[in-house]
Amino acid sequence: MSVDLNVDLGELPDEPEELYSLATVVNIACGGHAGDEPSMVRAVERARRFGARIAAHPSYPDPENFGRCSLAMDLGALYETLVDQCDALADIARASGVDVELVKLHGALYHDASDRPEVAAAVLDGIVSALPFGPVIVGPHGGALGPAARARELPYAREAFADRRYDPNGKLIPRSQPNALIEDPAQAAEQAVRLARSGEFETICVHGDGRNALLVAKAVRNALKHEKLLRVAR
């Protein structure tokens, strides 16, 4: 019943380096919503140093909205941006002697690929073109992305969030609504343990750009480790 603790990183110039030591998987922004070559180099080096596995964290090419707005993109253009983003990170990782082992979509693209099979197909086409060895796809429990990944024989890790609230139907409360975010470390840790114990998820996320990200990540990691629910990083 062990889970990974994945943290979205490489998005802010002043993110605490300690976050990399807490994650078992580091999701590195690769140029869509955030990130550039220097930030990717820095993030890959930190992940390598702390023994965290590396995930590409591509998104719609929309830094103005931090990738959190859906874009009406041609599916061919969507495919191309996924190739470009994953390729850019993979090249940097190879130069550092490590691999991109997972891919987790960011923001609006994460949700669109779950809701729309044609988006899921274009995204996976781009991922497989850039990372032909077949990375683990990280995504929501339910929706179109998981079945599409499994149909291509790609491993799929179901994700839950320690620092986001859910409605009674198990759906994420939109960020635009009050109290959508969990910023209290103790509450985030309690939710992480509960979700991990459910057996329905393989990975738990903490957002690295959250206001209390470092305190939340510490509390979540400590709680999962104490309950023997944390998958040990290399």
What are the residue boundaries of the structural domains of the chain, listed by start? 4-226
pLDDT exceeds 60 at position 133: yes
- CA–CA dist 110, 99 (Å, integer): 22
Q: What is the largest CA-CA distance in the chain?
A: 47
Using one digit for the tens of pLDDT, what is the confidence trace for 84-107?
999 999 999 999 999 999 999 999
Question: Average pLDDT in the 25-44 region?
Answer: 98
CA-nearest of 208, 215, 225 to 187 is 215
Question: Residue 76: which region, alpha, beta or left (left: phi > 0; alpha: psi -120 to 50)?
Answer: alpha
- CA–CA dist 170, 44 (Å, integer): 33
Q: Which two tokens stand for residue 206?
A: 């903490």
Q: Which two tokens stand for residue 158?
A: 């179901």
pLDDT category, 134, cuts 50, 70, 90? Answer: very high
Higher pLDDT, 31 or 170: 31
Which positions ≥6 away from 226 have C-beta within 8 Å?
none
- CA–CA dist 108, 105 (Å, integer): 9
Query: Which residue intervals of 7-67 are DSSP H helices?
Result: 18-22, 37-50
Using one digit for the tens of pLDDT, what is the confidence trace for 61-78?
999 999 999 999 999 999
Using one digit for the tens of pLDDT, what is the confidence trace for 148-158?
999 999 999 99
Q: How many residues does the chain have?
A: 234
- CA–CA dist 219, 223 (Å, integer): 6
- CA–CA dist 63, 193 (Å, integer): 33
Its CATH architecture, for the domain 4-226, is: Alpha-Beta Barrel (3.20)
pLDDT exceeds 80 at position 234: no
Q: Which two tokens stand for residue 222?
A: 């400590």
Could you tell me which residues are beta bridge partners of residue 135? none
- CA–CA dist 216, 162 (Å, integer): 8
What are the Cα distances from residue 206, in Å, to 74, 116, 124, 219, 226?
31, 25, 24, 11, 18
pLDDT exceeds 80 at position 233: no
pLDDT category, 232, cuts 50, 70, 90? Answer: confident
Kindly report the pTM of this predicted structure.
0.96
- CA–CA dist 124, 228 (Å, integer): 33
CB neighbour class for 178 (10 Å; exposed up to 12, middle 13-18, buried from 19): exposed
The pLDDT of residue 200 is: 97
